[in-house]
Amino acid sequence: MQHSAPWPLRMAWALVMAASAAGPAIATDYEVGDGPGMLAAIGDVPWEGLLPGDRVLIHWRAEPYREKWVLCRRGTEQAPIVVAGVPGPGGELPVIDGRDAVTRLELDFWNEARGVLKIGGANVPPDDLPGHLVVENLEIRSGRPPFTFTNHSGSIEPYANNAAAIYVEKAEHLIIRNCVLHDSGNGLFIGAFDGATQEILIERNWIFDNGIEGSYYEHNAYTAAIHITYQFNRMGRLRDGCGGNNLKDRSAGLVVRYNWIEDGNRQLDLVDAEDSQVLVNHPDYRRTFVYGNVLVEADGQGNSQIAHYGGDSGNLQDYRKGTLHFFHNTVVSTRSENTTLMRLSTNDEHADVRDNVVYTTADGAHLALLDSSGVMELRDSWLRAGWVVSHGSFEGTFVDDGGNLEGDDPGFSDLPAQDYSPAPASPLIDAGGELHPETVPDHEPVWQYCRHQSATPRPDDGARDLGAFEAGLLFSDGFDSGDTGRWSMTVP
């Protein structure tokens, strides 16, 4: 299975190469592929000896690479270690296939069954906290049962149910960008390692078609870290028969912004750091920011709740309890039955909800904002007329702070084509209110998602439109040749 990247990806690669050439001296380039002078296999790269500034450049070829390895080395801020795919002539990403994959014999690391690419945790290379790493432009797939691989000792071993295309045991200052992660137990798994894992950027990836049939415990993305940001990602439906969530997270300092997240048991499951008191006690644990996203729910897709915030371990004292800042999102549900915007686990969980669009194709009586508990403050949002606070017994607190609009039609540009930007006469235009003081200036919406895995600056005409988009821009008009510098984005 090959995925052709749009031409901006090829430009992105050119910019990476140019920026690297203009930056600090590079120790070594390891080129893998079928070209003259290249290493024939990923396993020919001396992974155990990579140094700051080294780059592993994996060139596209028609045949997938059936190899797996561990990345357990440190770069520096000025000279990160880069593992990058070099796209093919049509923008195709190099494919790393976990089925029948073989591990480089010189490596020695535990939990091989947990991932196709593992980051952190090894005997060879010597165990260290990997840091200042970039992994980009790779399609990584098929880390799950019933598939098997050959481990570092030469034995054939099956993947675990919770294996991932990319499994991060621990890391800091890690960027995963422009990757396609699919057909695995988890597309992406990141462990907190009791607070050692921190400063993670997940950007412009396509994560879909993951999970284990009949199980609720494997997800498109399952992460825990101190300071992790998801931005500009496309996250699609899980594998048929799989009950996991699209994005499940247990982090401190989580930011989810400008993503397209479609289907799953829930689109967002933001729960407690069940195995790390370091995260629970971190000052950013109780502040979570979700903004500028498109959250889409198809009929018959799992749980009726779009987002869950709080906890699921049963250890109530460790639940998130603080504030979920949920703003400038566009939520669209085509469920024929009920849709619930949010479940807050206890009455200690608080959601500040503003400047959103929440639309259901079913009539408004099928839309509830809350499940049974929690504190929600709502303002300056568009809602399907006839909405209710809860479809069941509600024991929390709901506060309508005003400025909300109701109707049967939010005035999307093209609902059937999933173009949720405001049409010229839309009531969403210029209807945005003030942002919460805790969200500015660091989390003011300055970008907007473009289909797919792209973005464009969000125009500022002095009055924000409701939802994830401003009117007047092409919905898929992302990075363009006249503004190539956008491809050097990091966390703003």
In a domain, 201, yes or no: no
Backbone angles phi, psi at 209, to 5 degrees: 60, 35
Cα 331 to Cα 266: distance, rounded to the nearest angstrom: 12
In a domain, 123, yes or no: yes
From the list 338, 339, 430, 441, the residue with the least C-alpha distance to 382 is 430
Partners of 367 in the β-ladder? 339
Cα 410 to Cα 388: distance, rounded to the nearest angstrom: 18
Cα 187 to Cα 234: distance, rounded to the nearest angstrom: 12
In a domain, 350, yes or no: yes
In a domain, 429, yes or no: yes
Going by pLDDT thresholds of 50, 70 and 90, the confidence category of residue 127 is: very high
In a domain, 233, yes or no: no
Structure tokens, 382: 């568009």
pLDDT tens column, 301-330: 889 999 999 999 999 999 999 999 999 999
**pLDDT at res. 472:** 77
Place of tokens 């949920």: 326
Statement: residue 140 has pLDDT above 70:
yes
Burial of residue 346 (CB within 10 Å: 0-12, 13-18, 19+) is middle
Statement: residue 491 has pLDDT above 60:
no
**pLDDT at res. 25:** 53
Kindly report the number of other CB atoms within 10 A of residue 107's CB atom.
22
Residues 162 and 278 reside in one and the same domain: no
Among 190, 220, 250, where does a domain finish? 190
Residues 165 and 306 reside in one and the same domain: no
Number of domains in the chain: 2
Residues 278 and 410 reside in one and the same domain: yes
Statement: residue 486 has pLDDT above 50:
no
Contacts of 166 (CB under 8 A, 6+ apart): 115, 116, 117, 119, 135, 140, 176, 179, 181, 187, 188, 189
The sign of the torsion formed by the CA atoms of 12, 296, 252, 119 equals negative
pLDDT tens column, 348-403: 999 999 999 999 999 999 999 999 999 999 999 999 999 999 999 999 999 999 99
Owning domain of residue 48: 1-169+185-190
Q: Where are the beta strands (DSSP E) in 206-284?
A: 206-208, 221-223, 226-231, 234-235, 247-249, 252-257, 260-262, 268-270
In a domain, 57, yes or no: yes
**pLDDT at res. 476:** 52
Contacts of 341 (CB under 8 A, 6+ apart): 305, 306, 307, 331, 353, 358, 367, 368, 369, 370
Predicted TM-score (pTM) above 0.95: no
Burial of residue 153 (CB within 10 Å: 0-12, 13-18, 19+) is exposed
Residues 144 and 279 reside in one and the same domain: no
Cis status of the peptide bond prior to 36, with omega within 30 of 0: no
In a domain, 314, yes or no: yes
Q: How high is the mean pLDDT of the chain?
A: 92
**pLDDT at res. 27:** 87
Structure tokens, 445: 């919406």
From the list 87, 176, 81, the residue with the least C-alpha distance to 130 is 81
pLDDT tens column, 243-274: 999 999 999 999 999 999 999 999 999 999 99
Among 134, 161, 190, where does a domain finish? 190
Kindly report the number of other CB atoms within 10 A of residue 36's CB atom.
6
pLDDT tens column, 75-107: 999 999 999 999 999 999 999 999 999 999 999
The sign of the torsion formed by the CA atoms of 161, 143, 231, 449 equals negative
Element (H, E) at 122: none
In a domain, 203, yes or no: no
Statement: residue 11 has pLDDT above 90:
no
From the list 133, 135, 171, the residue with the least C-alpha distance to 52 is 133
